[in-house]
């Protein structure tokens, strides 16, 4: 094997290694935990009785609203929010009451439970800009 063949093999190996590095680095995806997935989106749902719900997050705050089926005043819970992979708590700013919700993410929907009741919410939009 002459010097020209060795140089070509070395060049070919270097290009191959760089190509593999670019492929794996360019295709990496950020994996979020459930808490991040929950807070990244706004959520909306409706009960068969016609009442509707919205849930959104911003920074360390959460807001849950219930809109009655008949025209009336919405109930709003807003305050500091603590999120885990299976539940979140909102500390209401007005009353100081702590309300804890359990949740299960199911793709583009979520089952939200509170004191034995369960509602289904759907993803609406991201609440933070994509990087």
- 107 burial via Cβ count (<10 Å: 0-12, 13-18, 19+): exposed
Q: What's the pLDDT band for 8 if we cut at 50, 70, 90?
A: low
Q: Is 127 helix (H, G, I), strand (E, B) or coil?
A: coil
pLDDT digits (tens, 9 = 90+) for 62-118: 999 999 988 888 999 999 999 999 999 999 999 999 999 999 999 899 999 999 999
Q: What's the pLDDT band for 34 if we cut at 50, 70, 90?
A: confident
Q: Is the pLDDT of residue 16 over 90?
A: no
Q: Is the pLDDT of residue 2 over 70?
A: no
Q: Is the pLDDT of residue 131 over 60?
A: no
pTM of the model: 0.69
Neighbouring-strand partners of residue 12: none
Radius of gyration of the chain (CA): 24
What pLDDT score was predicted for residue 36? 87
Q: Token pair for residue 15?
A: 């290009």
Q: Is the pLDDT of residue 32 over 70?
A: no
């Amino acid at each position: 094997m002459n010097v020209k063949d060795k140089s070509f093999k070395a060049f070919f190996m270097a290009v191959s290694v760089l190509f593999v590095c670019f492929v794996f680095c360019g295709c990496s995806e950020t994996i979020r935990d459930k808490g991040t997935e929950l807070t990244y989106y706004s959520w909306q749902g409706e009960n068969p009785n016609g009442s509707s719900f919205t849930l959104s997050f911003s920074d360390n705050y959460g807001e849950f609203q219930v809109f009655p089926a008949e025209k009336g005043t919405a109930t709003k819970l807003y305050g500091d929010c603590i999120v885990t992979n299976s539940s979140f708590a909102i500390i209401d700013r007005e009353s100081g009451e702590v309300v804890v919700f359990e949740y299960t993410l199911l793709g583009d929907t979520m089952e939200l439970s509170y004191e034995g009741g369960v509602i289904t919410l759907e993803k609406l939009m991201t609440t933070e800009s994509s990087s």
